[in-house]
Structure 1
Amino acid sequence: MIGAIVGDVIGSVHEGSGTKTKEFPLFVEDSRFTDDTVLTVAVAEKLLHGGEYVNRFHRYFHLYPLAGFGGTFIRWAGTFEREPYNSWGNGSAMRVSPVGIAFDTLEDVMSHARQSADVTHNHPEGVRGAQATAVAVFLARTGKSKDEIRSHIESEFGYDLSARLDDIRPGYAFDVSCQGSVPQSLVAFLESESYEDAVRNAISLGGDADTMAAIAGAVAEAFYGGVPEHIAAPALERLDGRLRAIVNEFSRVFGHKIWHKPPRKTHS
């Protein structure tokens, strides 16, 4: 979860800028949390305290209406609509990482990822993006190698994760669909050497930078056993007290599942 939030903050200033390099400062004055962080925290709060996703999402939208939500979500949440709007956008994937941490079986992760998506992103592609992201987080934190993660995601969800970043980057453009951004975000993780490298990889594709860095960062946090303190601290300092309180509570309850791991191999 923290990996997603940090990725969002780092990527926030690159959204729409078409960044095609890995060489950039991690934080600048304008680095901030966006709707990716807000809804990730909403999911975490729901998993901690129960209730319905629709109510959590409405509440968090009205608490942070200027966080950068997409137009369709604004219309849905702003009018307290309760029916989903069949979205295939990557919003379902950007917010789902707490599910991959909180549950201990693949079946539960799949089920709860669908539940978190269905409230808005009930299109098959929206559900697929959320489930693939949550499952990648789950597999990463439960000791699977990158080769095993790649194989499972490809066979279960039909995403092609064989391309190299150097081949994707030149022709890749801003794409908010799950099908056009989740596989690329997962490749950014698979080709990484560290948490920081995964986030830099995702942003360097020049797409929906904050969301792609959130997705890659979530999986990287689980795989590498956390986010380095010197990277996590500047991002978490940008959260307000409300968001930080839920992040801290989620970390107390579920953090043992991913932190303090011994060094591990990055490939099988």
Structure 2
Amino acid sequence: MNTPLPADHTDRMHRARLALTGLSVGDALGQTCFRDHNYEAILEDPRATARGPWPFTDDTEMAISVYDVLNEHGRIDQDRLAQRFAARYKAQPWRGYGGGAHRLLEQVGNGYPWRAVAEGVFPGGSFGNGSAMRIAPLAAYFADGDYSVVAKQARLSAEVTHAHPEGIAGAIATAVAGACVWRNRARPTEEATRRELFDAALAHTPTGLVRDGIERARTFTFDLSTESEVRLVGRGAAVVPFDLSIEPVVRALGNGSHISCQDTVPFCLWVAAMHLHNYQTALVQTIRARGDIDTNCAIVGGIVALAVGEKGIPNDWLAQREELVV
């Protein structure tokens, strides 16, 4: 029996579409920056981007599935989400899926139960960052409710492909952070907003390496001395010099190089928190760290879009992203 859609379903889907837009532009831009000449060009001038259209990757493909299931059911229906993932994979398997994802989605598409497959393809379960890269539409859809609801729905979304606790934790932390940003979108530069982002994420993220990393990210944001490279000044505005070496942050938090939630989510939450008021700067700083650039940019872009709105996403970037068919 289908659950009735919420009375404010249309408003929720508008928010989810905004998050999907921010995620997909980040994803598409990020994947162009694996080529060194594009990487160097955008760091020198954010307007100097690769010629479009920029194709998006599996990050956006899977986020569209989350978006579609929310539009149909107003919640995460795990069986339906697994079917959506498998169908979109079958239609376009060249989108950049990892080897494990290929095996998992092929088996689900062939009728094997998703829970057994998720536990079998990745012994002990996956803790890959795919659970977090696709979560922004869900964060937006449930943003006006309790954080506990956001966390519960994020868990349901993650479990379809990620049976490992760290994979689930990464989805929860990213979703709660995104919901927090939407709630505080009127004050993106205030220290209180950044504090709530970390406090809410920590309050709902299960104990483990992802949570430990978010603790370190919070420390980088608030507890460094004024002699450090990262600091807060003035009326709580985050100041990160554009030419700042990102290396100390990467050493402490990771940059997605291991394709895990543990070394992706803490870094992405830190970048988003420091640049909630400026989508362009947030993505350039994300690109600067290298690592899993497209996924990092998808996560950061999905979060920051909820603070700046579609008008805050550079028009030329949006125009060059491959058209979304949703």
TM-score, normalization by structure 1: 0.81
Structure scoring higher RCO (CA < 8 A, sep ≥ 6) equals 1
The runs of at least 4 consecutive aligned structure 1 residues that moved more than 6 Å come to none
Q: What's 1:264 paired with?
A: none
Aligned counterpart for 1:234 among listed residues 307, 316, 319: 319
Larger Rg: 2
SS state of the match for residue 43, structure 2? coil
Aligned-pair distance for 1:5? 0.6
Q: How does 1:161-200 map to 2 (within 5 A)?
A: 161=217, 162-163=219-220, 164=230, 165=246, 167-169=248-250, 174-192=257-275, 193-200=277-284
Structure 2 residues not aligned, in runs of 5+: 1-19, 120-124, 185-191, 206-210, 221-229, 231-245
Q: What's 1:47 paired with?
A: 70
Q: What's 2:296 paired with?
A: 212
45-54 or 2-11: bigger deviation:
45-54
Q: What per-residue deviation string (whole Å, max 9, x for no partner) do you get for residues 194-220 of structure 1?
A: 011111111111110000001111110
SS state of the match for residue 153, structure 1? helix
Aligned counterpart for 1:134 among listed residues 175, 183, 197: 175
Q: What's 2:137 paired with?
A: 98
Aligned-pair distance for 1:49? 1.2
Amino acid paired to 1:167? P
The answer to whether the 8 A contact 2:280-2:314 is kept is no
Aligned counterpart for 1:115 among listed residues 145, 156, 161: 156
Aligned-pair distance for 1:64? 1.4
Structure 1 residues 211 and 123: alpha-carbon distance in aligned structure 2, compared to 1, 3 A threshold: same
Pairwise CA RMSD:
2.4
Aligned counterpart for 1:22 among listed residues 43, 47, 56: 43
Instruction: Tell me the distance in 2 between the aligned counterparts of 1:24 and 1:113.
Output: 36
Q: What's 1:149 paired with?
A: 197
Aligned-pair distance for 1:183? 0.6
Instruction: Tell me the distance in 2 between the aligned counterparts of 1:89 and 1:16.
Output: 23
TM-score, normalization by structure 2: 0.68
Instruction: Tell me the distance in 2 between the aligned counterparts of 1:47 and 1:153.
Output: 22
Structure 1 residues 170 and 123: alpha-carbon distance in aligned structure 2, compared to 1, 3 A threshold: closer
Q: What's 1:258 paired with?
A: none
Query: Sequence identity, in percent?
Result: 29
Structure 1 residues not aligned, in runs of 5+: 247-268
Instruction: Tell me the distance in 1 between the aligned counterparts of 2:168 and 2:140.
Output: 18
Instruction: Tell me the distance in 2 between the aligned counterparts of 1:170 and 1:125.
Output: 20
